[in-house]
Amino acid sequence: MERNGGDSGEVEQPWLVEVARLASRDAGNVPSGYLGGYLTMLADAAALGRFPDRAEIGAVRLQGRRAAEDGIPVGQGVDLYLSAARRVWSELPAVIRERDNKAVRSAAEALLQVVDDAVAAFAEGHAEAGREMVRREENLRRELVEDLLRGDAHLSELVERAEPFGLDLTRAHQVALAQPGRRLSEVAAATSALERVVIDRFGDRDVLVATKDGLVVVLALAEATGARPMADGLSTTGELGKLVHAELSRLRTTGPWRVAVGRAHPGAYGIARSYEEAREGLTMADRMNLDRPVVETRDLLTYRVLARDQPALVDLVYSVLNPLRRARGGAAPLVDTLAAYFGCGCVATTTAGTLHLSVRAVTYRLNRVKALTGFDPLDPAQRFTLQAAVLGAKLLDWPDRPLTPPAR
């Protein structure tokens, strides 16, 4: 008999060869080789009343594993086994069917027992192999995501490993990171729910959803999300961040989410660059106490410029704001007042409402800033220096964290 689809048992009897062919046809042309020694087991059960031993059932389980590895659905494999059993019973030699009722009943019971044991073993083997393949694919997926985000793997290897997951690393991609408001045990469930929505919206190619360091990572094709790489002129981050935040916010068991989106960059190493931008976005949003749920890299460019030269930033904050420590109550209330004042467009009444103070109290604090620092928050020419210093203070976590005076 043919051996396609795994090791087939030797079936020498012509009528069993025909049974295998017809059963294969009944099951949608599943290769009859997955029957292995099952037909002989059926024939022996019907003719001799012999039940299969453990080794024979183990061989059937192995056929189930091979079917799973070859991509044969378990339903089709079970159909193959059931069709073979029906045809064996209907094609039994006349000498068996001419026995007395008791003998025929015993043959039928033996054959049904074989069918029951074999189908269960086939399904178990198929399920075992399926679970192993899922675990193996998850490991490969996790390793691929790690290497893509780290950006230090060999390019040709990355391209080869990414292809089975539908990623074309020659195109521009972007990364979004979602951070839960609190540590969640449901991050994996949130990832699964989000993956279905992202794939439905952007397609099943050039999309990956995974977890890393307690964050949900979404990788998507820039063209699909509407993002425009910097090489195309004005960069935009498209719809990815808003979609991710909206869908995660629908999950009732999770807390508030913050999503940071990196810009789109071409190539395999562009993915790592977009990831670093998104991660930096989350860090800066936390440090600056931003209340926006979706943070885009272009919104943080000023902060990145300030943070890039740490010694110069320390010098700016120390030189401009350190005199505020002499105020009653320390520097923090005055720094908070300046941050609120600049944040609302330099309107004293709005600042007062934000801080739950009177307008008079806000005006008093602004005057104290002028008196202590020499910079007037109401003077447009001096306002920029103060505002840059306040942004720097938040980046440096000052005044809660002391600064080392710059060398003169």
SS3 of the chain:
CCCCCCCCCCCCCHHHHHHHHHHHHHCCCCCHHHHCCHHHHHHHHHHHCCCCCHHHHHHHHHHHHHHHHCCCCHHHHHHHHHHHHHHHHHCCCHHHHCCCHHHHHHHHHHHHHHHHHHHHHHHHHHHHHHHHHHHHHHHHHHHHHHHHHHCCCCHHHHHHHHHHHCCCCCCEEEEEEEEECCCCCCHHHHHHHHHHHHHHHHCCCCEEEEEECCEEEEEEEHHHHCCECHHHCCCECCCHHHHHHHHHHCCCCCCCEEEEECCCEECHHHHHHHHHHHHHHHHHHHHCCCCCCEEEHHHHHHHHHHHHCHHHHHHHHHHHHHHHHHCCCCCHHHHHHHHHHHHCCCCHHHHHHHHCCCHHHHHHHHHHHHHHHCCCCCCHHHHHHHHHHHHHHHHHCCCCCCCCCCCC
Residue-wise pLDDT for 99-147, tens only, equals 667 777 777 888 899 999 999 999 999 999 988 888 888 888 888 888 8
- Alpha carbon distance 48, 214 (integer Å): 61
Same domain? For 295 and 313 the reply is no
Same domain? For 38 and 111 the reply is yes
Q: What is the pLDDT of residue 276?
A: 92
192 alpha-carbon distance from chain centroid: 7
Residue type, 115: V
Same domain? For 203 and 176 the reply is yes
Q: Which of 132, 158, 180 is where one domain is finished?
A: 132
Same domain? For 103 and 35 the reply is yes
Q: Could you list the residue range(s) of the whole structural domain that residue 96 is in?
A: 14-132
Total domains in the fold of the chain: 3
Q: What angle do CA 66, 71, 72 make, to 5 degrees?
A: 75
Same domain? For 280 and 388 the reply is no
Q: Is the dihedral of CA 143, 149, 153, 158 positive or negative?
A: positive
How would residue 250 be classed by pLDDT, with cut points 50, 70 and 90?
confident
Q: What is the pLDDT of residue 114?
A: 92
Residue 311: pLDDT above 90?
A: no
Same domain? For 202 and 224 the reply is yes
Q: Is residue 183 part of a domain?
A: yes
Take residue 140 and report the two structure tokens written for it. 């490969």
Q: What is the pLDDT of residue 98?
A: 60
Q: Is residue 147 part of a domain?
A: no
Q: Which of 303, 318, 349 is where one domain is finished?
A: 303
pTM for this prediction: 0.63
Same domain? For 117 and 36 the reply is yes
Q: Which of 252, 279, 303 is where one domain is finished?
A: 303
How would residue 217 be classed by pLDDT, with cut points 50, 70 and 90?
very high
Take residue 298 and report the two structure tokens written for it. 């272009």
Q: What is the pLDDT of residue 284?
A: 84
392, 306 Cβ separation under 8 angstroms: yes
Q: Which residue has the tokens 């099952």?
A: 38
- The whole-number average pLDDT for the span 76-101 is 78
- The whole-number average pLDDT for the span 389-393 is 89
Residue 73: pLDDT above 70?
A: yes
- The whole-number average pLDDT for the span 186-194 is 75
Same domain? For 278 and 188 the reply is yes
Q: What is the pLDDT of residue 371?
A: 92
Q: What is the pLDDT of residue 202?
A: 84
Q: Pick from 57, 63, 17: which is nearest to 39 by CA?
A: 17
Residue-wise pLDDT for 350-386, tens only, equals 999 999 999 999 999 999 999 999 999 988 888 889 9
Q: What is the residue-averaged pLDDT of the chain?
A: 84
